Structure 1
């Protein structure tokens, strides 16, 4: 299946079961939500409705939501992690429960996407000091004949420090060589593709849990990871959504595999973030954007490669079209390109200023933690740039 067919199969299945299509929202969380800088899952824009407010589209929803996560930033470049990605989702707002959600999920994977039973393994919440084990999920998977690994904190989902939360059941697919073996907790060849969260509680500021007025279901499946499985590729970077990047980037910069993946991920993510109205800065969302772009520029500059001037406008257009435009239309591909190139100009200026500054400091003092903090706070020189300049 290509990307279009995969999305259509997912949303079509849920629409056949009474779910209304919920449009993709911005990477920026809803106004007034300061729990996160960016939308990290499909549920963020639905938080008020999971807490009990009626949704204008009803109690069953499905859709595709663009998300951004920085918690896995150091893992970007491996076969499965991305900074910006798309999440296929389904939601029950006080309608059906975990048994129905898991049964539908299993049916879709088997009949809709053609996965074999022996390819699948699941994990279930086994309880902690506040909440007991998720018996409903354990029993449902047992009835379906799917092997289960019982875990604790790895199978608890929270919206943030406070807000709706609950146990989850994660579905893994075998990606290794030969017959499936071991468990998801002991073998990384089991890759998580789908998470079913049972939204049963609200966590208060003191850490306590109170039952929600209605039990909700929030499921999320990474589109790119699913495509990796369905298209039989070695990584998310080899599925069809990355084809224009795969054809272009190697012709511009001779990078090793991991560096090429980081460059592709960070540039693509930066375009989407700028498209949603963020601009580089030294704080908040703007700092995340600046960090992404400067990681790319540092990789290229360190190897004396050309910078971003030659990146074709077609890649900007493809990326913005792939993720959709922000409400109100957002900037054009050329306007996004100008933001990226302006940040490059600033980066080159930082390098020149850094060279002059470091030339006046004793070499043995430059990488001292106190000096690094001084260079960053006073002169705006991040540690990674100082280290590159010293080398």
Structure 2
């Protein structure tokens, strides 16, 4: 991947500081985004995006810190769990966000976005491309964004339909968005974001101008907001000129210490182990402990997926060997108390539980004589013996 900057690539910490200071200098108040846990009464298990905790204020409630906000929000998504192992997906990640709650409009947000990427992070103008909502049957072209980008001299691609349209669900606040892409190829930029995958999206600016009702109709919002989100890890990958998030300084100690400890044979397995143990450490830091149901099942599932990967080649491997340095590295990065001992204790305890569960599962499944399991079998094994479907499938495969 081509490094888009003309100077020494910034560290992750420098990227965060540059982003937050840029917006603070422009009147934005820094708000906390330090926890994965959603506000009380929110039905989701974990915070999934930077705007999630701000939903009431986007709906019109006054924010105690004012109309201009900036933050770094850690997020967790289990929907992408099966994608972890490629170059971009992570279970726990961080979102850089800025908001205008009924204050400035889309053109100002886009101008600041260009200024920060080009002047703040040093990305050359010719390596930037943007997309703008091109209209549909209900809403016309996002003319404000289109005019702003033309004034700034950036190439624009118009898209229609669901492209460049943001909504938080079938009803509620919504509006057109404009996405900023960076060219990551080793040759001069070519094509457009929809025709060449080397254009990588780094920043989305949402113009919340409408409310969609149950009948599908749109009405103007009383308070027009701007909501921007930029994945920190993806931005760092681009700025440091590496091929994947695992090549950034975020994972340097992991890729230095894990391979000599556990020879996992392939890149995907190494990435899964690093991601899951890293994510578990963050979840633990937010006070969530493994359990059979609800929020606690997520860290348990991460640990068991890690162990399943580790034990494919060597059942004797143990999480008790995880270097304390790696736990400390993650705790420091996410601003958690640096206490690796309790994390390692939980990992060892969960490992013992999983070994006992596997032993029991093998005995129970031996009664089925290797026949094809039915949905009723899976239901019985889960409810009676506490064996999740993915665990049963793993035992069947190894048999």
Q: Distance in 1 between matches of 2:311 and 2:214?
A: 45
RMSD: 2.1
1:343 maps to: 350
Q: Distance in 2 between matches of 1:108 and 1:365?
A: 57
Q: Distance in 2 between matches of 1:93 and 1:27?
A: 23
Number of paired residues? 385
Among 75, 78, 86, the residue aligned to 2:86: 78
Specify the SS of the correspondent of 1:220. Answer: strand
Q: Distance in 1 between matches of 2:285 and 2:356?
A: 25
Query: 159-168 or 247-256, which moves further after superposition?
Result: 159-168
Specify the SS of the correspondent of 2:357. Answer: helix
Specify the SS of the correspondent of 1:221. Answer: strand
Q: Distance in 2 between matches of 1:149 and 1:283?
A: 45
Aligned residue runs from structure 1 range 13-162, under 5 A: 13-34=22-43, 36-151=44-159, 152-160=161-169, 162=171
TM-score, normalised relative to structure 2 = 0.90
2:295 maps to: 285
| Gap regions ≥5 residues in structure 2 | 1-9
The alpha carbon displacement at 1:359 in A equals: 1.1
State yes or no: 1:364 paired with 2:371.
yes
Q: Distance in 1 between matches of 2:116 and 2:184?
A: 19
Q: Distance in 2 between matches of 1:132 and 1:195?
A: 19
Structure 1 residues 208, 288: closer, same or farther in 2, change over 3 A? farther
Among 296, 308, 316, the residue aligned to 1:298: 308
State yes or no: 1:194 paired with 2:203.
yes
The alpha carbon displacement at 1:161 in A equals: 5.0
Specify the SS of the correspondent of 2:97. Answer: strand
CA contact (8 A) 2:173 2:210 kept: yes
Aligned residue runs from structure 1 range 245-264, under 5 A: 245-255=254-264, 256-264=266-274
1:12 maps to: 21
- Any idea what the Cα deviations from partners look like across 1:105-131, whole Å, max 9, x if unmatched? 011111011111221222222334444
Query: 87-96 or 17-26, which moves further after superposition?
Result: 17-26
State yes or no: 1:389 paired with 2:391.
no
Query: 90-99 or 77-86, which moves further after superposition?
Result: 77-86
CA contact (8 A) 2:320 2:344 kept: no
TM-score, normalised relative to structure 1 = 0.91
Structure 1 residues 203, 350: closer, same or farther in 2, change over 3 A? farther
Q: Distance in 1 between matches of 2:90 and 2:292?
A: 23
Among 220, 244, 249, the residue aligned to 2:253: 244
The alpha carbon displacement at 1:195 in A equals: 1.0
CA contact (8 A) 1:22 1:63 kept: yes
